[in-house]
A and B are shown apart, each in its own frame.
Chain A
């Protein structure tokens, strides 16, 4: 199993550009989520999905869209990049979203917006 994969690993965007961060998992996990991690702060939840066709907003959803057409894939779309979106983005999955289920994280995408 490849686990959770993310592409690209690094990305530089100009303000106003859009792009999609890819995330895939091959563990048949129902729950998938996107976090951003900034220095000195905890992981913050952007969007999450409890199954194909179902998505919901997390703590910091503004400026991001998601979709979940298959169990395996959960792409994150930046609509119009802003310097405040410079961060490290992690995708994570777990068997189910409820208690006691460890999350498996992808390697992260390091995004810089100039």
Chain B
């Protein structure tokens, strides 16, 4: 069956580092997306991983382990504008995105 698990909420301090974990169980796994969604707004694309390992993009990095069904999003040098929900979405087959409920990240000064 399909199952995605990510923490409901996390709190971190401005300037710090935070890691948001996502575990998944899907059939026909074909990569994993991370999206950012500010409150009241639409999701926006952050990253896509299809191979094992770490992909770095500025302050944001995303890691994937296919054998463990595990991914994380790493945010460095946190800024207040990073307060948002972060959505983990494995791709099943070529067309089916399975969306997690998201992790609400609260940044405190």
CB distance from A18 to the nearest CB of B (A): 25
> Taking beta carbons and an 8 Å cutoff, which residues of B are in contact with A?
4, 30-31, 33, 41-45, 48, 50, 87, 89, 91, 94-95, 97-102
- Chain A contributes a number of interface residues (CB within 8 A of B) equal to 19
Contact of A105 with B by CB under 8 A: yes
Extra inter-chain contacts (7) besides given A42-B99, A99-B30, A105-B42, CB under 8 Å: A43-B99, A98-B95, A99-B91, A100-B48, A103-B43, A104-B45, A107-B41
Closest partner residue, chain B, to A31 (CB atom) = B95
Given contacts A42-B4, A43-B99, A44-B99, are A102 and B33 in contact (CB under 8 A)?
yes
Contact of B31 among A90, A99, A107 (CB under 8 A): A99
Cβ 8 A contact of B48, one of A43, A44, A102, A105: A102
Interface centre among A44, A97, A104, A105 (most CB of B within 10 A): A105
Q: How far is the CA of A62 from the CA of B50 in the complex (A)?
A: 33
A-to-B contact residues, CB < 8 Å: 40-45, 48, 90, 97-100, 102-108
With a cutoff of 8 Å between Cβ atoms, the chain A residues found around residue B95 in the complex are 48, 97-98
Chain B contacts for A44, CB-based, 8 A:
99
Q: Quick one: which of A40, A90, A100 has the most chain B CB within 10 A?
A: A100
Quick check: A42 and B48 within 8 Å, CB to CB?
no
Known contacts A42-B100, A42-B101, A107 near B30 by CB under 8 Å: no
